[in-house]
Amino acid sequence: MKHIHIIGIAGTFMGGIARLALASGYKVTGCDSKIYPPMSTQLEELGIEIIEGFDAEQINIIPDVFVIGNVAKRGMPIVEAILNQNKAYTSGPQWLYEHILFPCHVLAVSGTHGKTTTASMLTWILEFAGYNPGWLIGGVPENFNVSAKLPQRSSKYFVLEADEYDTAFFDKRSKFIHYHPNTLIINNLEYDHADIFENIQAIQKQFHHLIRMIPSQGQIVYKADEPYIKEVLDMGVWTPLISFATQNKEGFYAQEIDNSSNFEVYLNKECLGVVNWSLLGKHNQNNALAAIAAAQHIGIDVKTSCDALGQFKNVKRRMEIRGVVNNITLYDDFAHHPTAIKTTIEGLRHKIGSKQRIIAVLEPRSNTMKLGAMKALLPEALNEADQIFCYAGNINWPIEQSLQPIQEKTIIEKDFNTMLEKIIQFVRPTDHILIMSNGGFNNIHPILLEKLRLCHD
């Protein structure tokens, strides 16, 4: 039995690789720090041994290969030991392609926002249609409750969340370069990952490199009316294109039904199906259109996809209701980029109307946020909320200046416990507390729910 040791195993991507490797017959061990749900729970259930930290003694585990995630940096004791002792190592994306993806038909979902949700929708459509796909998604789809699974032996399809973040300390190309997709979704394209990319042009270059690898018998599904995507496509395309979310009623587009979340799906002005579901927001309609178009490329008709989406249960940490106390609803959402923050709040507002209050609780935790690269966009992103609590314990730039345009409804707090007490003092029945963070946020959800219970008992 071959043995891999995964450096950075608790990330959603590397944790998914661990699950796939284990299912493929490998012995799997790994290490990480700051391990929290849902990945910590999944790894525990799999019985995978996890070492806390990155100490050099892990070299004595003697695996066949070290699979190194992009959390690993030069200077980490285990990294230096691997290099100094000339041990075999590879990146997560490269290992994934060589041992799992090849020779599957890979359906890759890329873009700044919505990758996890769209990949989950697409996977569920394939499963619903009997295609028995494999998948690796940066979250936990509630239709499956696992982030990764091998395809059944009878299936050649694999759905993959394709991230533009860099591969590893020794490979600075985007992760998605390794996947060799046959069907590619480009959901949207904005500047992000300020710790990796100098500007939007650097990101566009990586997308162009990805497009150069897609076969002429493949397909690129892209969001229309996005200038940065158009600029990438203008660099060169050798693959058929299909657009979605068009304003000129070409390609795939949606038509809402009776101001509800339900919508009709059109292709070139012909209605081909209806999606009846409870998901919120125009962004989720666009995610659905992208998944429907990609599924059509491999032979799944639009009506079947629409029927599947009617049974789609979303992804954990995407507007996930964590509890209701005294008619106060607490949500968990992964939003961390200003565009995602804005669309999440707008989606909730559309659902609850104008008479109930949205209390936005934000942890600016992503590397881009920590650098302050998006600070000018935060006031507009948060403005639809009635009250904002911003936890500033992990940032070193003056967020007070950034949020000055909405200062009358914003409380900024560097002490976590003090912020919780201020939230408790502020909320009242019928409020909706929307927690937004791409990390563990100090386990805020159960703590806040318990405080709400104690306060209102």
3-state SS assignment for residue 326: coil
| Lowest model confidence (mean pLDDT) among 162-166, 359-363, 426-430, 450-454 | 450-454
CA distance 305 to 293: 9
Two tokens, residue 126: 């394939």
What CATH number should be reported for the domain holding residue 49? 3.40.50.720
| pLDDT at res. 333 | 85
Strands 183-186 and 171-174, bridge-based pairing = unpaired
Residue-by-residue DSSP string for 55-93: -GGGGGG--SEEEE-TT--TT-HHHHHHHHTT--EEEHH
| pLDDT at res. 457 | 56
| pLDDT at res. 2 | 96
Instruction: Give this prediction's pTM.
Output: 0.80
What CATH number should be reported for the domain holding residue 236? 3.40.1190.10
| Lowest model confidence (mean pLDDT) among 18-22, 189-193, 402-406 | 189-193
- Specify if 209 maps to a domain: yes
Domain count, the chain: 3
| Lowest model confidence (mean pLDDT) among 80-94, 210-224, 242-256 | 242-256
Segment of 123-132, 262-271, 428-437 carrying the highest mean pLDDT: 123-132
Is the same domain home to 155 and 210? yes
Q: What percent of the chain has pLDDT over 90?
A: 58
Whether 155 has a pLDDT exceeding 60, the answer reads yes
Whether 139 has a pLDDT exceeding 70, the answer reads yes
| pLDDT at res. 204 | 96
pLDDT digits (tens, 9 = 90+) for 37-49: 666 777 888 999 8
**Region for residue 87 given its phi and psi (left: phi exceeds 0; alpha: psi -120 to 50; beta: otherwise):** beta
Two tokens, residue 9: 């195993």
| pLDDT at res. 166 | 93
| Lowest model confidence (mean pLDDT) among 29-33, 75-79, 93-97, 113-117 | 113-117
Residue 163 lies in domain: 103-309
pLDDT digits (tens, 9 = 90+) for 325-345: 888 999 898 777 787 888 889
Q: How far is CA 81 from the centre of its chain?
A: 32
What residue ranges in 164-251 does DSSP mark as E strands? Answer: 166-168, 171-174, 183-186, 219-223, 241-244
Whether 456 has a pLDDT exceeding 60, the answer reads no
Is the same domain home to 275 and 298? yes
Whether 248 has a pLDDT exceeding 70, the answer reads yes
Residue at which a domain ends, from 309, 331, 353 = 309
Is the same domain home to 271 and 400? no
Identify the band that residue 439 occupies on the pLDDT scale cut at 50, 70 and 90. Answer: confident
Is the same domain home to 44 and 127? no
Angle at 96 between CA 95 and CA 99, to 5 degrees: 75
- Specify if 326 maps to a domain: yes
Q: How far is CA 357 from the centre of its chain?
A: 27
Is the same domain home to 260 and 346? no
Is the same domain home to 346 and 420? yes
Helices marked H in 24-173: 39-46, 77-84, 92-96, 115-128
Identify the band that residue 56 occupies on the pLDDT scale cut at 50, 70 and 90. Answer: very high
Identify the band that residue 404 occupies on the pLDDT scale cut at 50, 70 and 90. Answer: confident
Is the same domain home to 333 and 304? no
The mean per-residue pLDDT over the stretch 442-457 comes to 82
Whether 162 has a pLDDT exceeding 70, the answer reads yes
